Amino acid sequence: MAKQYAFYFDANSCIDCKACQVACQDKNDLPGGVIWRKVIEYGGGDWVMQDNVMVPNGIFTYALSTSCMHCQDPICVHVCPSGAMTKREDGIVLVDEDLCLGCRYCEWACPYGAPAYRPELGVMSKCTFCEDLLAAGENPACVDACVTRALDYGELSELQAKYGDLAEMAPLPDAKLTSPSFVLTSYRASQATGSRVGKIIDLAEEF
Amino acid sequence: MEEHSKLENVGRDDEINRRSFLKWSAAVGGTAAIASQLSFGFVPANTNRAAEPGKWVFSACWHNCGGRCANYAQVQDGVVVRQKTDDTHPDSPDYPQQRGCARGRSQRHQVLGVDRLKYPMKRAHWAPGGGDKELRGVDDWVRISWDEALDIIASETRRIIDTYGNKAILTPRLSPSRILNALGGAMQSWGVSSAGAWPQPSALMAGNLNLSAPDRMTYRKANLIVLWGSDPAWSSAGDPTYNYQQARNAGAKFVFVGPLHSNSVQTLADEWIPVRPGTDAALLLGMAYHMIDNDLQDQDFLDTYTLGFDADHMLEGTDPEENLKDYVLGTYDGVPKTPEWASEICGTHPRTIRQFAEEIARTRPTIFIGGAAPARTQNGQQFVQAFLTVGWMTGNVGFDGAAVCNNYHSSASYGGPSLVKPGGSGLESLGNPLFPRGGSGYAFAYPEDTDFYAVAYEEMWDAILNKEFTATVRGKQPCDIRMIWTVTHGSGGNALNQVAGIMKGIEAYRSVEFVVSSDIVLSTRSKYADVVLPDTTPWEDEAGGFLTGNPEVLFFYSQVISPLYEAKDCGYWFERELARRMGLDPDAIYSSTPQQQTFNQLAGASVIKEDGSGYEPLLTITADDIAAMGVEGKPQGGRISLSEFKEKGVYQVERKPGDSFIHTPGVAFRQDPEANPLSTASGKLEIHCQALSDKIAAYGFNTIPPIAQYNPPIEGYQATFEDWDNKVKGEYPFQLVTLHYMRRSHSVFDNITQLRKAFPEGVWMNPADAEPLGISHGDTVQVSSQHGTVIRPVIVTTRTTPGVVILGEGAWFEYDENLGADKAGATNTLCGTHPTGQGEEPWNTTIVRVDTWDGPALEADYTWPQRVPIKE
């Protein structure tokens, strides 16, 4: 059994197509407005006048597909008042919708915005790492969906051996907060966590 | 305003901090708008033919999306519970799975949504002759029986044909139904949409190198790949971007040219060169100047393989002063097309123009790909002429890893012939007597004909309102259109939404006597109709069918569920029923069943032999197979069994580097141009092409020179100024680019909540344009043109070129009488009709203004209710 399931993301490949986001919604039969995986478009740079011509200066964009990080130090589990939020032996963090009170404290606490409130049910919901598919020997829906093969998954230590141990880039928060079970390959223009060079290009309603 | 400040906060914080997320969730997730896409308790009418519970069925994904991928539906108790994409073989760059996109993965919501049309309907205030025609689009709907619907259609069609003739029936952007052709035909439409101004220049200048690109593996051999006005990441979903990434990984440098730092740019580009819409020809001519000035062109190639580059290499009988080189140098017009000259028009810095010209001149092999977007401009021919000319000046034709081509839609990154294909259906053709050589009307190539009666896409609404149309060489001819027919089996054909000039189109719709439409949901073409018929989707087609896309793969879809409620096949079934009522023999309309047609296609399906030397049958078909399908046919041997093919739904030719399926366009021509002439007038590549100039003149809208020039387009960059010389902006200071947007396949899928959530249809604007207007990221703004007004949220980003505003095309027009605007952001509210060239649709030359909006902020699109016309 895995000790810590983790996702891998290649920022050089992602095209913000949201096949992963929608595949997850489909597999989990989520309402259209509830997402467990999101894709964020981040970018920056500016235009400067040179010889009376506006020229692009360091324009960059990149996308980031992110879901629950199944953190090694999951703050959602620590703050949950009912014990609904738990972490399994294989590292997957799950919310038990029957125990959940819908207080949304986990949503407040999570630095990745992973827990998703279900207004029609009055409880929280979140990425399950497709643990039912894993048990059947299949891959998470998002990983199989990615049209540019930007997503992978596996045992965290194996992903780190293969891809390195980078687990943060702007706009993600500092990995030291909750030790996300996550590895990413940065893009040439990836901005470090904490950088103020760029900003999120999406509209808030997408998240 | 509260929304605005939250977004500002997010914009400034580079992290998704806890507070921002909570605020977003509260604003967005907590509202009432849990849209209605929750339930699949939607029970189909007849589950007898549904697949076994829990079974995966290869399900159609049939859209004009720029891709074609594998989609499977899992069916339990007659209900689709889940989808998946291709997993028929392990995935690798050489043998990639055909993975679907967000749209295809939302297919079950389209088929099984609460907004699916269930019953035939008529407008509450309809009567023969139209009734209260002003209520088209805003009337209530009344459920009617199929009998009543068929009787109405038969009677109105008969009355209109008898009173006004077949020419009074318009089938906008659709081939007429076969029954209309059997009744004497209809007024069809013609023109070019996706491909813009490419077809005629490519055919007449390049002959059988028309639109030709190398095969997928060969892209990895290029040292430089230029994508000009092309965004495969969002316009060619499926594998193309993944394929291009393999070329990137193999060391190819990518340069993208266009107004937007797109998602294709972000994943592939080493360099992005901005250019204003509709000015690409100027940029290319500036590059040509630099090449000529520094003798960088491949003169041997030009001398041997082309005509028209300079005065010494002109086709006999043409004026030697009309050569390209002297135009670029300004020999006769006194205007040298220097990079400085170009820069004033196109906005690209002269230094960049020179560097780029050097790069393409000195790098081999280069694949020089011209997209369709720059050709979807008024005077779009000039882009294609200039693009092909400059490409040929580099000599990148006819050897390994090189090409000058247009490579887009589902063939992006995949040149060469189809390696696997279906057979013919065997259904005999039943053409439109009023348009004998028209085919579907798309890229109509015979403007010299004088025996047809059909109207250009861009002229349809004017033809209805003004009772005349341009009949190519015959000039303006009268017409009297009394009926609009958009009945067909299948999606799309949403002309009222997808052709420019929606406001005018609605006026036209409200002026005719009868409008009949079929649909699966109430899209724009049906919303403004009198009678609407519920069509089945390919998921409900009993016979199944074929889908094609890139050259390496063939798909076969099977029935997933039984037809829902009273939906019927609005081709085969409807037309035969209508025939009965109109005194025609149904078998004269369709002489063979869908099952027989599908069988014929299966039997005739062929696949390339392993050694590439020809084709062989794909399928082994037994006598039992034939009996089970209830068709006529003969057993045959092939590569795989019919049952295996139907179950998998995909046959993909496995490729390896160095296999027999390499395709390099132009090799024979390059090796011996005398022995292997092209199909152009001269046999060579025609930089000077009189045939093209004559052909465009024949269409009757405008004229173009036989060489590439830059002439300012209508509603182009120059039109944003009231005083060009002093650069004083006019009333419409910005240029609009209409984007292929991943929420939809053109207008299809716009009604799907999860896609609206993923893609909010914001209008993208550079801060250099937004800030002086007091506009901030997330504000609701008003975008207007000479033709209409839309309201949208704005995304302020430096990824778009200053002066250029970008909006996804295809949103379902949603007019709000109180606001006096379309609040969905249909780009054709903003784009005007400009009949031009070979009938292309010049959406990317549209000038607009953007203003702050004082009215109520829009609710997020994904919270909007579905269109459910008959409430139960």
pLDDT in tens, A108-160: 999 999 999 999 999 999 999 999 999 999 999 999 999 999 999 999 999 99
| Strands B640-641 vs B804-808: parallel, antiparallel or unpaired | unpaired
Give the Cα separation of B181 and B335 in Å (integer). Answer: 53
Question: Is residue B795 a contact partner of residue B762, using CB atoms and an 8 Å limit?
Answer: yes
The mean per-residue pLDDT over the stretch B155-166 comes to 98
More confident residue, B416 or B48: B416
For residue B27, the chain A residue with the least C-alpha distance is: A205
- Which chain B residues have a beta carbon less than 8 Å from that of A46? 798
B857 — contact with chain A (CB < 8 Å)?
A: no
Is pLDDT of B432 > 80? yes
Give the Cα separation of B848 and B786 in Å (integer). Answer: 8
Is pLDDT of B17 > 60? no
Which of these, B705, B702, B701, lies nearest to B691 by C-alpha position? B705
- Which chain B residues have a beta carbon less than 8 Å from that of A201? 795, 797, 799
More confident residue, B30 or B53: B53
Give the Cα separation of B225 and B252 in Å (integer). Answer: 7
The reply to whether residue A144 touches residue B84, judged by beta carbons under 8 angstroms, is: yes
Q: What's chain B's average pLDDT?
A: 93
Is pLDDT of B19 > 80? no
pLDDT tens, residue by residue, B201-234: 999 999 978 668 999 999 999 999 999 999 999 9
B860 — contact with chain A (CB < 8 Å)?
A: yes
A45 Ramachandran zone, left/alpha/beta (phi>0; psi -120 to 50): left
Cα dist from B692 to B297, B337, B687, B698, B700, whole Å: 24, 23, 10, 10, 13
B114 — contact with chain A (CB < 8 Å)?
A: no
Which of these, A158, A187, A204, A207, lies nearest to A44 by C-alpha position? A187
Nearest by CB: B28 against A45, A187, A204: A204
For residue B40, the chain A residue with the least C-alpha distance is: A29
Cα dist from B583 to B149, B157, B162, B180, B780, whole Å: 17, 13, 14, 13, 55
**pLDDT for the residue B53:** 52
The verdict on whether omega for the bond into residue B214 sits within 30 degrees of 0, i.e. cis, is no
Which of these, A118, A113, A17, lies nearest to B100 by C-alpha position? A17
The mean per-residue pLDDT over the stretch B711-716 comes to 98
Which of these, B394, B419, B416, B420, lies nearest to B407 by C-alpha position? B416
Q: What does residue B553 show for φ and ψ, rounded to 5 degrees?
A: -140, 150
Q: Can you say how many angstroms the Cα of residue B741 is from the centroid of all Cα atoms in its chain?
A: 11
B863 Ramachandran zone, left/alpha/beta (phi>0; psi -120 to 50): alpha
Q: In the numeric block, which tokens belong to residue B475?
A: 């000039």
The continuous run of DSSP H or E covering A5 comes out as strand A5-10
For residue A55, the chain B residue with the least C-alpha distance is: B349
**pLDDT for the residue B630:** 95
SS3 B671: helix
pLDDT tens, residue by residue, B391-423: 999 999 999 999 999 988 998 999 999 999 999
**pLDDT for the residue B24:** 27
The reply to whether residue A61 touches residue B263, judged by beta carbons under 8 angstroms, is: yes
Distance from CA of B87 to the nearest CA of A (A): 8
Identify the residue among B266, B348, B352, B410 best suited for mutation to test binding to A, counting A beta carbons within 10 A and taking the highest.
B266
The verdict on whether omega for the bond into residue B551 sits within 30 degrees of 0, i.e. cis, is no
The reply to whether residue B105 touches residue A145, judged by beta carbons under 8 angstroms, is: yes
Give the Cα separation of B810 and B232 in Å (integer). Answer: 18
- Which chain A residues have a beta carbon less than 8 Å from that of B768? 47, 54
Identify the residue among A25, A203, A207 best suited for mutation to test binding to B, counting B beta carbons within 10 A and taking the highest.
A203
The reply to whether residue A53 touches residue B347, judged by beta carbons under 8 angstroms, is: yes
Distance from CA of A117 to the nearest CA of B (A): 7
B245 — contact with chain A (CB < 8 Å)?
A: yes
CA atoms within a 13 Å half-sphere pointing along the CA-CB vector of B456: 31
DSSP A170: T
For residue A191, the chain B residue with the least C-alpha distance is: B14
Is pLDDT of B45 > 80? no
CA atoms within a 13 Å half-sphere pointing along the CA-CB vector of B17: 12
Q: Which residues 121-140 of chain A have a CB within 8 Å of chain B? A: none
Give the Cα separation of B669 and A82 in Å (integer). Answer: 76
| Strands B804-808 vs B734-739: parallel, antiparallel or unpaired | parallel
Is pLDDT of B37 > 60? no
Identify the residue among B7, B15, B254, B750 best suited for mutation to test binding to A, counting A beta carbons within 10 A and taking the highest.
B15
pLDDT tens, residue by residue, B731-764: 999 999 999 999 999 999 999 999 999 999 999 9
**pLDDT for the residue A2:** 82
**pLDDT for the residue B11:** 27
- Which chain A residues have a beta carbon less than 8 Å from that of B766? 47
The mean per-residue pLDDT over the stretch B551-560 comes to 96
Identify the residue among A9, A10, A14, A15 best suited for mutation to test binding to B, counting B beta carbons within 10 A and taking the highest.
A15
Is pLDDT of B577 > 60? yes
pLDDT tens, residue by residue, A16-68: 999 999 999 999 999 999 999 999 999 999 999 999 999 999 999 999 999 99
Question: Is residue B601 a contact partner of residue B642, using CB atoms and an 8 Å limit?
Answer: no
Which of these, B770, B521, B558, B755, lies nearest to B650 by C-alpha position? B558
Question: Is residue B214 a contact partner of residue B416, using CB atoms and an 8 Å limit?
Answer: yes
- Which chain A residues have a beta carbon less than 8 Å from that of B349? 50-51, 53, 55
pLDDT tens, residue by residue, B306-335: 999 999 999 999 999 999 999 999 999 999
Give the Cα separation of B754 and B264 in Å (integer). Answer: 23
B76 — contact with chain A (CB < 8 Å)?
A: no
Quickly state the pLDDT bin for B457 (edges 50, 70, 90): very high
Identify the residue among A10, A12, A14, A18 best suited for mutation to test binding to B, counting B beta carbons within 10 A and taking the highest.
A18
**pLDDT for the residue B293:** 98
Give the Cα separation of B580 and B572 in Å (integer). Answer: 13
Q: Which residues 447-506 of chain B have a CB within 8 Å of chain A? A: none
Give the Cα separation of B284 and A156 in Å (integer). Answer: 50
Distance from CA of A205 to the nearest CA of B (A): 6
pLDDT tens, residue by residue, B644-656: 999 999 999 999 9
pLDDT tens, residue by residue, A153-190: 999 999 999 999 999 999 999 999 999 999 999 999 99
Q: What does residue B75 show for φ and ψ, rounded to 5 degrees?
A: -115, 130
Distance from CA of B847 to the nearest CA of A (A): 20
Give the Cα separation of B281 and B705 in Å (integer). Answer: 13
**pLDDT for the residue B31:** 28
Q: What does residue B360 show for φ and ψ, rounded to 5 degrees?
A: -70, -30
Quickly state the pLDDT bin for B79 (edges 50, 70, 90): confident
Give the Cα separation of B107 and B560 in Å (integer). Answer: 12
Pick the CATH number of A5-73+129-205 from 1.10.510.10, 3.40.50.1970, 3.30.70.20, 3.90.25.10: 3.30.70.20
Distance from CA of B24 to the nearest CA of A (A): 6
Cα dist from B269 to A187, B35, B273, B798, whole Å: 12, 39, 10, 17
Q: Which residues 716-745 of chain B have a CB within 8 Å of chain A? A: 742
Quickly state the pLDDT bin for B723 (edges 50, 70, 90): very high
Is pLDDT of B796 > 80? yes
The reply to whether residue A201 touches residue B352, judged by beta carbons under 8 angstroms, is: no
- Which chain A residues have a beta carbon less than 8 Å from that of B11? 199-200
Cα dist from B623 to B79, B478, B602, B604, B631, whole Å: 32, 57, 14, 16, 10
B605 — contact with chain A (CB < 8 Å)?
A: no
Is pLDDT of B829 > 60? yes
**pLDDT for the residue B857:** 87
**pLDDT for the residue B211:** 65
Question: Is residue B567 a contact partner of residue B519, using CB atoms and an 8 Å limit?
Answer: no
DSSP B261: -
Quickly state the pLDDT bin for B78 (edges 50, 70, 90): confident
Quickly state the pLDDT bin for B103 (edges 50, 70, 90): very high
SS3 B645: helix
Give the Cα separation of B351 and A56 in Å (integer). Answer: 13
For residue A45, the chain B residue with the least C-alpha distance is: B798
Ordered by start, the domain boundaries in chain A are 5-73+129-205
CA atoms within a 13 Å half-sphere pointing along the CA-CB vector of B130: 19
Distance from CA of B504 to the nearest CA of A (A): 32
Quickly state the pLDDT bin for B16 (edges 50, 70, 90): very low
Strand positions, DSSP E, B27-148:
55-58, 71-76, 79-85, 121-123, 141-143
Quickly state the pLDDT bin for B871 (edges 50, 70, 90): confident
The mean per-residue pLDDT over the stretch B609-616 comes to 96
